[in-house]
Every structure is written in structure tokens, then in C-alpha cells.
Amino acid sequence: MAANNGAIKLVAGNSNPKLAEAIASYLATPLAQAVVRRFADMEVFVEIQENVRGTDVFVVQSTSYPANDHLMELLIIIDALRRSSARRITAVVPYFGYARQDRKPGPRTPISAKLVANLITRAGADRVMTLDLHAGQIQGFFDIPTDNLFASPVMVRDIKERYKLDNVMVVSPDVGGVVRARGLAKRINAPLAIIDKRRERAGESEVMNVIGEVTGRACILVDDIVDSGGTLVNAAEALLKQGATSVTAYITHGVLSGGAVARVTASKLKELVITDSIQPTEAVRVARNIRVLSIATLIGEAIGRTAAEESVSSLFD
Ligand code: R5P
């Protein structure tokens, strides 16, 4: 009788079925038969409908909107797999929600990113795989191996296809994002500018100071998250005012809450390029200046390498 040890199984929650299917197709491994549904009172119910005993299971689930429902699905899927004797469970969380709550912003506030890391671990995950964490240090919130992948190879390929690199300036939209932007700038051999946002006095609007000479340059803003779109739209205005010829943004996670899509569409941004770490809504798909790059191959390759106990970091050399 053939043993299951080492066989890969992919299980998808409801957050991003398209990405899960694309990963499954890259790995030529069908998604495992599983039901992830709600009871009448909206409790999550999970049933894994095939044998997973002894298998290496990868659960693909972003904790994107609605974050709490998708997080609960992830935890309950992991619990179901653990109780079904899976050999190893990897939580593949392309967008790790709650990551922005990675420190106490004031007294008597939580560190929710740490709490979510504890929940995933205690549910029974053996490993975590995620993408462009808001802050690299969040890896340390997990006491299990955690691979933080980077979307930059996918973005760099796209930038190289579309831009004359000798005229490009990579821009970090705030001081906190400099390390991320510098990493991408190095990969395409482009200079780096930084936007320094300052509110001189409470109640006054923020002043955007551009550090770096952007006149005549095609500017590429790089960030991990676009949520309301405010940061990007304001940064684009500031760069164009300083003489940039165009402003494009490459952002890994298109959270795009509330009126963000309308704000981006009405803005002077030439294009906003995001990935499918969060499943794009219909509004995103039809927006005139938003384009989606898929990270399915990158994640599929990282899953394949993890299963084969091969290097994942060499994907980014
Ligand atoms: C902040 O630290 C993040 O890196 C993003 O810059 C931020 O989440 C973007 O938010 P919004 O689109 O709402 O300005």
C-alpha cells in the first residue's frame, strides 16, 4: 500500500479561490475536496472530504476583507486538518491582515498582529508562508518557521517590460517604506526618492516633502498596502508638482477599502499595479488605471520547494 507521507494537498478557504486554483494548476495538484460554509447563524463549518492522513497540507487563505471571517475560516480549517492527522500543515496567507497592528500605538491598546500569530500557531499550523509582510519583524511573532516571500521579482519583470529604466525613479511614499522601495530600486538599478510627510501643527493638513530630484523622471511608488488610496494619491500629486513626468504605483496588497477604487480612478496616477494576494473585486477589474499581476507562480513555486525541502530564499537571489 502506498504511504501518504510527503504527498502535497492544497486546501482553499473562501478568501481567494481564484488564486488557490491558479496555484493548484501551477503545481498540477487539484484542490482537496473540502466544504467551508456557514451555519444559519454564520458560524463557520469545515469538512475535509478526502483523506489527508500523513500528507503535507498547504492551506491557502488571505485574511482579507471580511478579515475576521476569513481568519476564523483559516483557524477552523487548520483545526480540521490537525484532527485528520495531516503530517504537516502550512498556513499560506498571501495577505496577512492585522499586520498593521504590530505595536502598541498608545497605552492600553493591543498588538493584534501578535495575537493573530498566536491563534494560527495554536490552531495547529506547523509553518506559515506569507508575502510582503507589513513589517519583517512580524515573522518573529511566530514561533514556527515563517517564510516571508517578496512580490518584487514579479514587479521587476513587469517594470522591465514597460519602462526605459534609465529614466525611472523609485519612490517610497513614506519614510517607513524606504527599505522596501530601496530593495526594488536596487533590482532595477534605479535611484530612490522618499516622501517625507509632516503635519507641522495638529489640525493642519500634512505637507509632503519630496526628498530627491524627480524632475523629468517616470516615478514608481512602491508600498506594501494600498487601503484608502490616500497615501498614493497625495504622493502622486506631490511628485507631479515637483516635475515628475508620470507616476505609477506598484503595491503588493490591494486592500482598497471604501471609496479607494474611485479615488484612484479619479487621481493623476497613471497606473496602480497590485497583485492578486487579495482577490480583486469587480470594481478593481474594470477600473481604468488598475492592473493586477498574479503571484500564483511565485507562491506555487515556494510551496513546491517547501514540500521538497528545497531553498525558498533562492527564489529571490
Ligand atoms: C502604511 O504604513 C502602509 O505601508 C501603507 O502606506 C498604508 O496602509 C496605505 O494606506 P492608505 O492607502 O489608506 O493611505
Testing ligand 1's pocket by substitution, the residue of 196, 231, 251, 264 carrying the most ligand atoms inside 8 A of its CB is 231
Show Cβ contacts of residue 135 under 8 Å, excluding neighbours closer than 6 positions.
Answer: 99, 102
- Ligand 1 center to 251 CA (angstroms): 10
For residue 231, is pLDDT > 60? yes
What pLDDT sits at residue 291? 98
Q: Pick the atom of ligand 1 nearest to 177's CA.
A: 4
For residue 156, is pLDDT > 60? yes
What pLDDT sits at residue 195? 96
Q: Pick the atom of ligand 1 nearest to 228's CA.
A: 13
Nearest CA residue ID for atom 9, ligand 1: 226
Active-site amino acid positions: 197
DSSP-derived secondary structure letter, 69: H
Nearest CA residue ID for atom 10, ligand 1: 227
For residue 249, is pLDDT > 60? yes
Mean per-residue pLDDT for 186-213? 87
Mean per-residue pLDDT for 135-157? 97
With bands split at pLDDT 50, 70 and 90, how would you rate the model's confidence at 152? very high
For residue 237, is pLDDT > 90? yes
With bands split at pLDDT 50, 70 and 90, how would you rate the model's confidence at 198? confident
With bands split at pLDDT 50, 70 and 90, how would you rate the model's confidence at 4? low
Per-residue HEC secondary structure of 243-268 comes to CCCEEEEEEEEECCCCCHHHHHHCCC
- pTM over cut 0.85: yes
What pLDDT sits at residue 295? 98
pLDDT tens per residue, range 55-86: 999 999 999 999 999 999 999 999 999 999 99
With bands split at pLDDT 50, 70 and 90, how would you rate the model's confidence at 6? low
Show Cβ contacts of residue 304 under 8 Å, excluding neighbours closer than 6 positions.
Answer: 8, 27, 310
- Residues counted in the chain: 317
Full set of structural domains in the chain with CATH: 8-150+297-316 (3.40.50.2020), 152-294 (3.40.50.2020)
For residue 157, is pLDDT > 80? yes
What pLDDT sits at residue 206? 79
| Pocket of ligand 1 from Cβ distances under 6 Å | 173-174, 176-177, 223-231
Mean per-residue pLDDT for 25-36? 97
Q: Pick the atom of ligand 1 nearest to 234's CA.
A: 14
- Ligand 1 center to 77 CA (angstroms): 30
- Ligand 1 center to 279 CA (angstroms): 18
Residue 46 is which amino acid? V
Q: Given phi > 0 = left and psi -120 to 50 = alpha, else beta, which region is 150?
A: beta
Q: Pick the atom of ligand 1 nearest to 176's CA.
A: 2
With bands split at pLDDT 50, 70 and 90, how would you rate the model's confidence at 197? confident
- Ligand 1 center to 255 CA (angstroms): 10
For residue 3, is pLDDT > 70? no
What Å distances lie between residue 264 and 178, 218, 254, 291, CA to CA? 22, 18, 11, 12
Residue 283 is which amino acid? A
With bands split at pLDDT 50, 70 and 90, how would you rate the model's confidence at 208? confident
What pLDDT sits at residue 317? 85
Q: What percent of the chain has pLDDT over 90?
A: 93
DSSP-derived secondary structure letter, 205: P
- Whole-angstrom distance, CA of residue 126 vs CA of residue 131: 17
For residue 7, is pLDDT > 80? yes
What is the rounded average pLDDT for all residues in the chain? 95
